[in-house]
Amino acid sequence: MNIRVLKKLIPGISVFLVLLFLSGCEWMESSNKSYESIAVEDVVAKSHLSEAVEYSYVKDGHERQKLDFYRYEGEAKRPALIWIHGGAWIAGDKGSIEPIAFQVAGLGKYNLISIGYRLADDKSAPWPEIVYDVKAAVRWIKLNSEKLGIDPDEIILIGESAGAHLAALTAFSSGVEELEGDKTPGASTEVKAAVLFYGPYNMSSFAVQKNSAIKSGMCEEPPYSSPILELLDCPETNGTRYNIDTCDLRDVRAADPGAYLDKSDPPAYLVHGEHDCTVPWGQSKALHDELDDVGVKNEFVSVKGGEHGVNSLGIEAQDIVDFINESLVDEKESITDAYGPSLPTKQ
């Protein structure tokens, strides 16, 4: 076991709450704010992308195991930007795309793909099936890259909130057998870069950070319990908030993207508002520090006054495109993890 990772995981684990949602809560309010201020149809019209074509990435699969493909104009083979929607793992769909994804794809001349995945409250898809779905989609895209006009070696993940968590977990755990699944085999799940908007990444510190924000008066106490119980199929806790004592510690750790970091991982562009009362700002700060520690290229954009919504962050698409383009030409270094293998180990 990686002692360095384990020491960071254990403190505070019994008081963890990660993410939020449920009908009517601030997750949807944040999403609505973004769409009110930017006309999505105008963004799409200016992006030089085709209308979406739907594909199933698992043969005879679930209705949610599908993706929407937006081809950039022309026949040239291009990088692919894969959008992963948010919604606390229990809401949203592949149609829930923030305008920033279209802006980045159009400006960077990338093909855009939005993937669906089975939600955490689907009892037929226990943990870690939600991760299997994302990785199956990445493999399908690579296996069908010729037909789609995609360079399979230039795949970029982008996601918000729960989607950022899944993007980070996918990007940093490529080759971890326990998280790969067996659907659509035949390609790796390695990607070239990850763009992460205000996701939860350090499972042991989430509740501590959230409680601190509430005690300081910056945030109000939310009226709901944790979707992590759904994500990891944990027994109920009788409504007790910030409590995952019923969860299997191994599953909690396996859901933490930081548990798999080593220097071979792809570059990451992190964005987080300092006034985010949904996913604490410290989540991105902690991941930024961990990436620095292991030597992974990353950029952390901390937005003063920014909240839980892309439109509150004032992010310029050109900055993201510049980071991606630099990542596409960077060569990975051949190294070993100075801290020993993660558990599970990468293959």
> By C-alpha distance, which of 204, 175, 138, 136 is closest to 342?
175
In a domain, 222, yes or no: no
> What are the tens digits of pLDDT across the range 259-268?
999 999 999 9
Domains of the chain: total = 1
- Examine residue 325 and state whether it is found in any structural domain, yes or no: yes
pLDDT in tens, 164-174: 999 999 999 99
pLDDT, tens digit, for every residue of 57-112? 999 999 999 999 999 999 899 999 999 999 999 999 999 999 999 999 999 999 99
Can you give the length of the chain in residues? 347
In a domain, 135, yes or no: yes
Whether pTM exceeds 0.95: no
Examine residue 172 and state whether it is found in any structural domain, yes or no.
Answer: yes
Residues spanned by the domain of 139: 24-202+264-329
Is 250 part of any domain? no
CATH assignment at residue 74? 3.40.50.1820
Q: Is the pLDDT of residue 21 over 70?
A: no
Q: What is the pLDDT of residues 224-262, one digit of tens each?
A: 667 777 888 988 776 556 567 788 889 988 999 999 999
- Would you state the pLDDT for residue 280? 87
Tell me the CA distances in angstroms from 19 to 163, 183, 191, 292, 298, one per residue in order: 11, 27, 25, 24, 23
pLDDT confidence band for 27 (50 / 70 / 90): very low
Q: Residue 272 corresponds to which amino acid?
A: H
